[in-house]
């Protein structure tokens, strides 16, 4: 995990681990097929934006969506997410970037067509780190050239 642009007085291993724990909660809830636990990892007004122009706001909306997904097309799958960047912006506020995706039964590595890069805004509320905003994008969609240098993956052919 890389930590950049952090507020130095807040940048402790314990704070980084606590902020990153929101990612673990989602991964564990997905593995257990538990939409309630998945939604509980978000703030009451948290948002989730998924590839395919899907937008969900609030725990109930997120829970309903994930309940259908985890009982339907994603039943038996696992979510893989590795924190590649974590920045503490202010007391109780962090931005986390992950690489990962969806693992189907029998897979140990995410197939390119299910690979995702995600951004998580996490906040501390009453001693617990929760997701205020989450957005992912499919890595298979490739990088769009803007003429500027990019650190992202090249377009898939």
Alpha carbon 124 to chain centroid distance?
16
Q: Is 55 exposed, middle or buried (0-12, 13-18, 19+ CB in 10 A)?
A: exposed
Token pair recorded at residue 12: 């402790």
Tell me, yes or no, whether 153 lies in a domain.
no
Give me the number of domains the chain comprises. Answer: 1
Token pair recorded at residue 14: 């314990």
CATH code at 126? 3.10.450.50
Query: What is the residue-averaged pLDDT of the chain?
Result: 87
Tell me, yes or no, whether 148 lies in a domain.
no
Tell me the mean pLDDT in the region 140-146.
Answer: 59
Tell me, yes or no, whether 88 lies in a domain.
yes
Tell me, yes or no, whether 149 lies in a domain.
no
pLDDT score, position 146? 56
- Domain range holding 55? 2-140
Tell me the mean pLDDT in the region 129-141.
Answer: 91
Tell me, yes or no, whether 155 lies in a domain.
no
């Amino acid at each position: 995990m890389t930590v950049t642009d952090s507020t130095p007085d807040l940048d402790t291993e314990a704070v980084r681990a606590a902020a990153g724990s929101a990612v673990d909660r989602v991964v564990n809830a997905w593995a257990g097929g538990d939409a309630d636990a998945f939604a509980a990892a978000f703030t009451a007004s948290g948002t989730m934006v998924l590839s395919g122009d899907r937008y969900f706001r609030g725990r109930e909306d997120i829970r309903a969506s994930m309940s259908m997904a985890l009982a339907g097309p994603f039943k038996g799958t696992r979510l893989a997410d590795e924190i590649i960047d974590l920045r503490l912006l202010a007391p109780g506020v962090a931005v986390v970037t992950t690489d990962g995706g969806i693992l189907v039964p029998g897979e140990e590595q995410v197939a390119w067509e299910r690979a995702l890069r995600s951004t998580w805004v996490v906040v501390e509320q009453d001693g617990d780190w929760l997701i205020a905003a989450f957005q992912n994008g499919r890595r298979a969609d490739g990088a769009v050239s803007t003429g500027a240098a990019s650190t992202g993956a090249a377009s898939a052919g």
